[in-house]
Amino acid sequence: MERAVFLDRDGVLNKSDVRDGLPYAPRTLEEFALLPGVVEATRRLREAGFRLIVVTNQPDVGAGKVQRSVIESMHDRLRAWLPIDSIEVCYHQDCDACDCRKPKPGLLLGAANRMSISLRDSYVVGDRWRDIAAGQEAGCRTILVDYRYEERQAEAPDFVVTSLSDAVPIIIGT
């Protein structure tokens, strides 16, 4: 069984637009930009032997606010920029009641099954309560990148950091 780091996309790998204390995902390729330190952080995680899997809710597609092709182009860029193994996406909205939309663990469970990943030896890094709840439900260790959003707070993450770069020493143990 392999170990993985499940990475939320917006707010962990790339910049989110924060308005009135709430994060919003980029809707255009021009708005899509990596956060500082992400390239080095993902390289270090890969060198430490972790599979890197992006797990992201993209409800703007289901809501008709952005075309799926734009999101897929963003993901093509992520694959070109970072050493990631897979990008798992939920395009649904909460009202769809699917199993893949975080806080449900469907994206993590599916990837773990396909890639022979030990969830108890893996981590979830996210910036919202939904990420932490999905990781906890899947049995992973959880790391919150805390931007102090004005929304529901994550309950009892294993660790709290201010960036993916700060999470790397926790994950690799150095």
Cβ 164 vs Cβ 147: under 8 Å? no
Active site residue 131: no
Which residues 6+ apart lie within 8 Å of 72 measured at CB? none
Cα separations (Å) of 142 from 27, 59, 69, 129, 135? 27, 23, 30, 11, 6
Report d(CA 157, CA 146) in Å as an integer: 10
Which residues 6+ apart lie within 8 Å of 152 measured at CB? 129
The residue type of 59 is: P
Cβ 14 vs Cβ 26: under 8 Å? yes
Active site residue 10: yes
Report d(CA 4, CA 140) in Å as an integer: 10
Catalytic residue among 10, 60, 127, 131: 10
Residues designated catalytic: 8, 10
